[in-house]
Structure 1
Amino acid sequence: MPDSSSNPLTLARFELKRFKGPLPRLALVFILLIPLLYGCIYLAGNWDPYGRLDQVPVAIVNEDVPTTVNGKEVHGGQDFVDSLHRKGTFGFVDTDAADAEEGLKSGRYYLVISVPETFSTNLVSGQGDDPTRAQIMLRRNDANGFVIGTITNSAQNSIANAIDETAVSSYFEAVFANLRTIREGMLEAADGAARLDTGLADAHDGSTKLRDGAATAVTGADALATGAAQLSTGAATADDGAGALVTGLTSLSDGADRLKDGSRQVADGTQQLTDTLDPVLGLAAEKLPAIQANLTKVADEAAGLTDLTAQGAGNIATSSKGISDAVDSLVAAHPELADDAAFKRLQTHTSNLATATGEVAQHAGAISTAVDAADQAIRNTGDLSGKAKEAKTKVDALNSGAHQVASGASDLSAGAGTALSGATTLSDGLGDLSTGATQLSTGASTLATGLHTLSDGALTLDDGLAQLSTGATTLATGVADGASKIPVLTEDQEADAVSVLSAPVDVTMEVDNPAHVYGRGLAPMFFSIALWVLGISAFFIMRPVTGRMLAARGSTLRIGLTAWAPLGFVSVVAGWLMLAAAWIGLGLDPVHPWLIILLTTVVALAFSSVAHLMRTWLGFVATAAMLVLLIIQLTAAGGTYPAELLPPFFGAISHFMPMTYSINAFRIAISGGLMTNFVRDIALLLSLFVGCMGLLLFVVHRKRRFTVKDLHPPLG
């Protein structure tokens, strides 16, 4: 019957049963709780650190002074502060600069956000000629903790986003205010353009009339220029005729004066003759020679008077004819003079003069006839007495006619003087008329030239106004259409638009297989570390293999598995306790519950096999080796940073670290992922387990060959 004390299974049970008494059992319980303490308690402290950021006190110092843009007040600093409070990322506290300074030094605040007084002014400066960046100052004190400083440093992104949102919001508030102003201005412009269109249409009608009137005026101006030239020529001719008229009237006046004097002498002579005839008749006999002499004298004087009368009548007739011809020529050349008052007076004087000269001519003719008859009678006197009586009768008639001639000559002289005065006035007036007509002709030519220019300009103006009218119609329509396209927003609509435009894009992150909280992301690494640390700590109270076990009968395979079995069992149970605590206590809630149980079991078996191999092979040195491997794996396994971000050496050895695959498998089991990777990781961990167990059997096989050194170990 074999000795049961040499049975490997009995030895394995004995190894567990030797933990008797309170202290050994407490030590065994401690070993079982190591993964739970390390994996769960440490994990609990890091489960969701960012979930309590709102408890981190951050001071806000707002010194911003609002500004005004387009009549609208912009208070960007307060809007920014309100935005921070709405987001609630940290425990924001509004305070002043002094309190913030003191609080940052003492650790009451972990971060100070300062808004300068020029924030709003600089925020809207982009609408002016000198755009300036708005600034926000952040200040932290790493004496309060570098990690918390790193966390608050991440606030820069949210602060920058809040600033951008505030800046764009302020900008669009100003834009909408400008849009309202622009729309109102465009509506006014549309009304003005419509009025302009109407006015230009009226102006075009007026310019058309102006064009037609200017054309008519050009025709009239040309006719006026021609008439003015003719008037100037006629006025010059009339002026010359008036000069000749003045000359003729001067001669007429002189002749009329001589005629007046001569007729007066004739009248005196005939009076003397009459006065003489009465005594002559009584003294005819004795005074006949004297009478004969006087009669001869009278006859001579009558003859002279006849010649003078004939000459004066001729001069008068010639002058009168010249005056009449000049006046008729002037009227024929310038019919417009017929209405001139001075010219009418001239016509009256010439008419009176013609009448007077006609009467003088008739009287002069009668006198001439009477004088001739008297002369013939005196010269042919036979019976002086009878003839004296007859002469007396004729002399009386002569005397009467001579007095009439004298009276007519006096009237003729006066009329000639008046006519001369009028002719002189007419000559002066016609001189002025000639000068004025010349000026009128020059002015009419200038007027005609100007009216031609006016006509051309009126034509151009008419065409331009037609184009302007068309353009004004297009402008009015375009401005009205443009104004209609500018939206009319209520205050609520404007606020919504500003909100959307200030943050026009909602950036959403769709996460595949989300970890949700920081702790779920760290759990794969902590679970792996905990099960690795268990392999290090377990051998403080457990033995990898005893001498009795090595000396027991049985195969190396049976002895090796029996030696590992207690550690493997403790590791699996400890792993399940850790998983249960995280699942129930922290709310791990893995996506693949059965897979994580399987994975925890596989990792516990694999890592315990590594630890048992190392301790069996190296003895106490294995503890140091396991710690070194743990430190290397903490860096190289990608628990916090992916291999691509690691230094080249750690990135290269990452693929050879057991925890690389346990961490990746735990991630898939907890949060989900590619199942082929999970199968790969499980397969590699099982390969690690099988490999380590194979090496463990090799080491056990070697150790079953005892030496003197093995019988007397340096450390019992």
Structure 2
Amino acid sequence: MKNSWKIYSRDMRNISKNWVAAILIGGLIVLPSLYAWFNIKASWDPYGQTDQIPIGIVNEDIGAEVEGENIDVGKELVKTLKKNKSMDWQFTTRDKAMDKVEYGDYYAVIVIPKDFSEKLTSVVSGKPRKSEMEYYVNEKINAIAPKITDKGASVIVNEISSKFISTVNGVIFEMFNNLGVELEKDLPDIQKFENYIFEMEKQLPKSYELIQDSLGDAKKAQTVIDNAQNKLPQAKDVTNQGLQTIDDTTAILSEGEKKLNEMAPKIKQDLKKAQQVASDVNNFLSDVNNVEVDFSKQEELNKLLDERVDEAIGSLATVEEALKQLKQLNNDEQNNGNQEEEQPSEAENPSGKEEQQEIIDRAITNVSTLKDALKEVQGNAQEISNFANEKKDQVNSIFNDLQELSANTNNRIGDFLTEYEEEIEPTVRKQISSAKETLKNGRAILVDIKKTIPEVERILNSTEANLSDGKDMLEYMEGQYPYVNEKINELADKIRNIQGETDINEIIQLLQNDPEAEKGFFAEPVKLNKNELFPIPNYGSGMTPFYTVLAIWVGALLLISLLATDVHDINSYTARERYYGKLFTFFSIGILQTLIVTSGDILLLDAYVAEPGWFILFGIIISLVFMSIVYTVVTVFGDVGKAMAIIMLVLQIAGAGGTYPVVLLPSFFQKINPFLPFTYAIDLMREAVGGIVWDRAIHDLLFLLLFGLAFLILGTLFKERINRQTHKLMEKSKKAGLFH
């Protein structure tokens, strides 16, 4: 150890005697401090200058109209941003903004589209649509700037959201307040509704019974309507047939009346003619009976009589035929009348038709009797001719009988003519006229029935449709009864429970509120009260531990780069003596570097440090550990050790969590983090800056001391052995003329 101290003393004398060495050493002492101070000052308050970051604002919003009021959110936002100094807001057009953000004059551009207000106010339409803003950022300009502009955009969105939420909720709570007032006013109606629900609960079973009865009646009514609809075609056919029959009968009667008009004069003429013939025959027979009969002329007489009688019989035959036609017309009318009796509205007179029939039959009988009488006269005349020669004695008697018969015939024809003129023809005409009038009335009734049938059919169809709908509704109500009954019972039970648990007056009081107070609440429903356990006033002070530790390591690298890590007369000392002798020199310079950087952080930069004394002391301990590590790897491994020290620096800057939390680092750096001296050195310095938690501070000190002890043991035990190998490599490298 004596020789080691000797080496250290010699180095100190050389520095003090050689002003060039002293200047160089002084530079090495101060230079690491500059590295720390410049970085700390540069990052002193980076977020305090965001008002100098230009961000373009393009407002294309055309506004919207809600309940008769114009709303222009974009315009209001521009007014708000003009008062906001957190960013350098630039209000411009889209084309100009896009050119500037692309060129780099603007860090970002926010575009408020023309439908921004329209979408924002769509919440009142029942179909809300989210409003969107276009955000363009040039991330090429700077790595941190986009994060700051993102924050600015988020501030705008939060500002709009907060105002919108407060406004909407203010309206909602104003509605609640009005609702509470209305509820208070409608409290009697609410109580009436409760009573109504209880009454419904009580009456629903009876209603269900009525629905079932009504459904049964509807089914019966449906059957009746179906039967009536089935009968309608038959009623149409019967009505049409009745009309056709009436029209046919009327035509037959008209034809009969026409024929009667045509035949009546002829019938009267024929009857008169027959009467005249009978009279002539009677006169002739009287003349014959009064004169002497010349039987020799009986053939001539018989011929004359026969001609007269044939003529009378022919006339009577014509009359008989006419009467038979009348009888047939009367029968046709009567048959049609029997058919029409099926119509409920037809009125008949069967007694008049039977009387007419009897008159016609009696007339036909009379005419037939007359014919028979004339034939009898003709027969008797023939008999006179046949028996004139044999029964001349009876001639007079026969003539008398013939005369009497002809006289009776004449009288009968005359009576029949009178009866025909006075009874038969008027009666027939009257009956035909009556029948035509009856048929006319019946036809009018049938026409009305025919006109009524479509209306009846329409009513039946409409009734059937309505009845079907009613039936479906009744069936639906019947099917829904269990559900409705269950829900009414549940509602009644809930009302009873609410009445038992909640007073509606309390609900009314709850709804009645101060809308403005509620609006303010929802504008900021949660207020964050920040409690800083270890307050650090600025970002630069927060970064002081990292840059200070980094400067201490850099100071060690500068020393091993410029100062020799071994003595020139290596043969005069052992490897261990050389190792410790030079280590004391490096320790001394490292302590001076640390004193400068730590005291400069406090005095020159005015960095916030909660425990200045411990900050300086922790810095010295860290410097001793770092110097042990860097000096050992270089003095043991030579130039390879220098590369190892640089590699260790690079890994520690990335993986020690000096700038970003360890949990945000890639998995590789998270894994190596516990094995890096920077991890514990930065945490130890943070304890001094923010406020010491000694459990953590002791934990970090122990690990740092373990790192330092490990490398001291490495240098003490393996320097000589490893140097034998590295010496050869150093000789080789020197021969290259590139390394010292």
TM-score (norm 1): 0.53
Q: Deviations over 1:363-418 (max 9, x none)?
A: xxxxxxxxxxxxxxxxxxxxxxxxxxxxxxxxxxxxxxxxxxxxxxxxxxxxxxxx
Structure 1 counterpart of 2:551, one-letter code:
A
Name the CA shift for 1:484/1:699 in 2 (closer, same or farther; >3 Å): closer
1:134 aligns with 2:153: no
Name the CA shift for 1:12/1:26 in 2 (closer, same or farther; >3 Å): closer
Output aligned runs, 1:258-337, within 5 Å.
Answer: none
How many Å apart are 1:139 and its aligned residue? 0.9
- In the other structure, the counterpart of 1:538 is 559
| Secondary structure of 1:665 counterpart | helix
- In the other structure, the counterpart of 1:166 is 163
How many Å apart are 1:701 and its aligned residue? 4.8
- In the other structure, the counterpart of 1:100 is 97
Q: Deviations over 1:87-143 (max 9, x none)?
A: 543222333323322332332321111212222222121121221111121111223
* Number of residue-to-residue matches in the alignment: 425
- 2:642 corresponds, among 623, 627, 634, to 623
- 1:149 corresponds, among 146, 151, 156, to 146
How many Å apart are 1:704 and its aligned residue? 9.4
- In the other structure, the counterpart of 2:689 is 670
How far apart are the structure 2 equivalents of 1:598 and 1:707? Answer: 36
Structure 2 counterpart of 1:142, one-letter code:
E
Q: Deviations over 1:597-643 (max 9, x none)?
A: 11100111111111111121122222221111111112221223333
- 2:531 corresponds, among 484, 494, 510, to 510
- 1:695 corresponds, among 677, 697, 714, to 714
Q: Which has the larger radius of gyration?
A: 1
1:650 aligns with 2:646: no
Answer yes or no: is the 8 Å Cα contact 2:6–2:581 preserved in 1.
Answer: no
How many Å apart are 1:593 and its aligned residue? 1.6
- 1:566 corresponds, among 581, 585, 591, to 585
Q: Deviations over 1:479-498 (max 9, x none)?
A: 99988876586xxx73x543
Identity %: 22
Name the CA shift for 1:598/1:175 in 2 (closer, same or farther; >3 Å): same
How many Å apart are 1:653 and its aligned residue? 1.8
TM-score (norm 2): 0.51
How far apart are the structure 2 equivalents of 1:191 and 1:670? Answer: 66
How many Å apart are 1:176 and its aligned residue? 5.7
Name the CA shift for 1:168/1:7 in 2 (closer, same or farther; >3 Å): closer
Output aligned runs, 1:62-461, within 5 Å.
Answer: 62-84=59-81, 88-175=85-172, 178=175
1:56 aligns with 2:53: yes
How many Å apart are 1:529 and its aligned residue? 1.7
How far apart are the structure 1 equivalents of 2:74 and 2:106? Answer: 20
1:685 aligns with 2:682: no
Name the CA shift for 1:559/1:161 in 2 (closer, same or farther; >3 Å): same
Structure 2 counterpart of 1:661, one-letter code:
Y
Name the CA shift for 1:562/1:85 in 2 (closer, same or farther; >3 Å): farther
Structure 2 counterpart of 1:50, one-letter code:
Y
- In the other structure, the counterpart of 1:499 is 520
Name the CA shift for 1:52/1:706 in 2 (closer, same or farther; >3 Å): closer
Name the CA shift for 1:4/1:546 in 2 (closer, same or farther; >3 Å): closer
1:10 aligns with 2:9: yes
Answer yes or no: is the 8 Å Cα contact 1:54–1:91 preserved in 2.
Answer: yes
Name the CA shift for 1:586/1:78 in 2 (closer, same or farther; >3 Å): farther
Answer yes or no: is the 8 Å Cα contact 1:4–1:10 preserved in 2.
Answer: no
| Secondary structure of 2:105 counterpart | coil
- In the other structure, the counterpart of 1:526 is 547
- 2:622 corresponds, among 597, 603, 612, to 603
Name the CA shift for 1:123/1:38 in 2 (closer, same or farther; >3 Å): same
- In the other structure, the counterpart of 1:212 is none
Structure 2 counterpart of 1:44, one-letter code:
K
Q: Deviations over 1:658-712 (max 9, x none)?
A: 1111011111111125311111211222232233233223355558989996999
Name the CA shift for 1:32/1:173 in 2 (closer, same or farther; >3 Å): same
Q: Deviations over 1:295-335 (max 9, x none)?
A: xxxxxxxxxxxxxxxxxxxxxxxxxxxxxxxxxxxxxxxxx
- In the other structure, the counterpart of 1:258 is none
How far apart are the structure 2 equivalents of 1:527 and 1:9? Answer: 27
Query: Please, which runs of 5 or more residues in structure 2 have no aligned partner?
Result: 193-498
How many Å apart are 1:192 and its aligned residue? 12
| Secondary structure of 1:89 counterpart | coil
| Secondary structure of 1:143 counterpart | coil
Q: Deviations over 1:396-443 (max 9, x none)?
A: xxxxxxxxxxxxxxxxxxxxxxxxxxxxxxxxxxxxxxxxxxxxxxxx
How far apart are the structure 2 equivalents of 1:611 and 1:545? Answer: 14
- 2:604 corresponds, among 568, 585, 590, to 585
Name the CA shift for 1:620/1:644 in 2 (closer, same or farther; >3 Å): same
How far apart are the structure 2 equivalents of 1:573 and 1:567? Answer: 10
How far apart are the structure 2 equivalents of 1:627 and 1:571? Answer: 17
Query: Please, which runs of 5 or more residues in structure 1 have no aligned partner?
Result: 197-473
Name the CA shift for 1:183/1:653 in 2 (closer, same or farther; >3 Å): closer
Name the CA shift for 1:190/1:67 in 2 (closer, same or farther; >3 Å): farther
Answer yes or no: is the 8 Å Cα contact 2:4–2:580 preserved in 1.
Answer: no
How many Å apart are 1:517 and its aligned residue? 2.6
Structure 2 counterpart of 1:657, one-letter code:
L
Name the CA shift for 1:74/1:678 in 2 (closer, same or farther; >3 Å): same
Name the CA shift for 1:18/1:658 in 2 (closer, same or farther; >3 Å): farther
Structure 1 counterpart of 2:88, one-letter code:
G
Answer yes or no: is the 8 Å Cα contact 1:28–1:541 preserved in 2.
Answer: no
Structure 2 counterpart of 1:505, one-letter code:
V
| Secondary structure of 2:144 counterpart | helix
Q: Deviations over 1:178-224 (max 9, x none)?
A: 5687688779x769989x9xxxxxxxxxxxxxxxxxxxxxxxxxxxx
Cα RMSD after superposing both structures? 3.8
Name the CA shift for 1:653/1:562 in 2 (closer, same or farther; >3 Å): same
Answer yes or no: is the 8 Å Cα contact 1:662–1:685 preserved in 2.
Answer: yes
| Secondary structure of 2:525 counterpart | coil
- In the other structure, the counterpart of 2:40 is 43
Name the CA shift for 1:687/1:551 in 2 (closer, same or farther; >3 Å): same
Answer yes or no: is the 8 Å Cα contact 2:537–2:608 preserved in 1.
Answer: no
Name the CA shift for 1:560/1:73 in 2 (closer, same or farther; >3 Å): same
How far apart are the structure 1 equivalents of 2:725 and 2:130? Answer: 82
Name the CA shift for 1:705/1:653 in 2 (closer, same or farther; >3 Å): closer
How many Å apart are 1:4 and its aligned residue? 11
Name the CA shift for 1:571/1:522 in 2 (closer, same or farther; >3 Å): same
Structure 2 counterpart of 1:602, one-letter code:
I
How far apart are the structure 1 equivalents of 2:513 and 2:675? Answer: 68
How far apart are the structure 1 equivalents of 2:41 and 2:562? Answer: 27
How far apart are the structure 1 equivalents of 2:45 and 2:136? Answer: 25
Structure 2 counterpart of 1:586, one-letter code:
L
How far apart are the structure 2 equivalents of 1:9 and 1:104? Answer: 61
Answer yes or no: is the 8 Å Cα contact 2:4–2:577 preserved in 1.
Answer: no
- In the other structure, the counterpart of 1:452 is none
Q: Deviations over 1:331-362 (max 9, x none)?
A: xxxxxxxxxxxxxxxxxxxxxxxxxxxxxxxx
